Amino acid sequence: MTQHRAGIEREERSNNDNRARKPIPAVQPAPAEAKKPGLRQRWDSVQTSKTMVFWLMLGVIALTIFVGFRWGGWVTSASAQSAANSTAQTAVVARLAPMCVAQFNLDPAKDTKLVELQGTSTFQRSAYVKAQGWATLPGETTPDNKVAEACARLLVE
């Protein structure tokens, strides 16, 4: 007896044949070349999730901190304090160095000492100013190194 079903190959079999029949694959027409979706279409099809939003926000925060400290001029309190201390120290030395020069001008042998100061090397000038006592300001017992350096620079110029 002959059995016919759609998609099953035709073959002659007896009625008591229990073997399964193999389907014949249907011939499908070649699909037309599908157009690749553009960037806008892919962007519109993206569905954001809470996880994606969380990591995006975390990245934005990290980038803001990096840019702020690197190029934005942000500083920590410790670096701001050290910058303020160095600026204050520079300002104090700039105000005290003219006092040292005034003490030099009070010295009766200032002309000969100025020639001696100009004759010493640049590295020994601050030691010479300290030895003469010009860098020891009123109310202090020891001379200040930075004031002596600034005073020597002012005297030699």
Sequential pLDDT tens for the chain (157 residues):
455 555 555 666 666 666 766 677 777 777 777 788 889 988 888 888 899 999 999 999 999 999 999 999 999 999 999 999 999 999 999 999 999 999 999 999 999 999 999 999 988 999 999 999 999 888 889 998 999 999 999 999 8
Is residue 134 one of the residues assigned to a domain? yes
- 43 assigned to some structural domain: no
The per-residue pLDDT for 47 is 84
Q: How far apart are alpha carbons 96 and 4 in whole angstroms?
A: 115
Provide the pLDDT for residue 94. Answer: 93
Query: Residue 7 in 3-state DSSP?
Result: coil
Instruction: Count how many domains the chain has.
Output: 1
CB pairs under 8 A, 24+ apart, for 26-32? Answer: none
Query: Residue 55: inside a domain, yes or no?
Result: no
Q: Which residue segment(s) compose the domain that 125 sits in? A: 90-156
In a domain, 31, yes or no: no
Closest of 119, 121, 129, 120 to residue 150, by C-alpha: 129
Angle, in degrees to the nearest 10, between helices 125-132 and 110-119: 150
Which pLDDT belongs to residue 11?
Answer: 61
Assess if residue 98 is contained within a domain: yes
- Structure confidence at residue 5 (pLDDT): 56
Structural domain includes residue 117: yes
**What three-state secondary structure class fits 127?**
helix
> Is the CB of residue 147 less than 8 Å from the CB of residue 100?
yes
Alpha-carbon distance 153 to 150, whole Å?
A: 5
The model's pTM: 0.55
Instruction: Tell me if 5 is assigned to some domain.
Output: no
Judge whether 147 lies within some domain.
Answer: yes
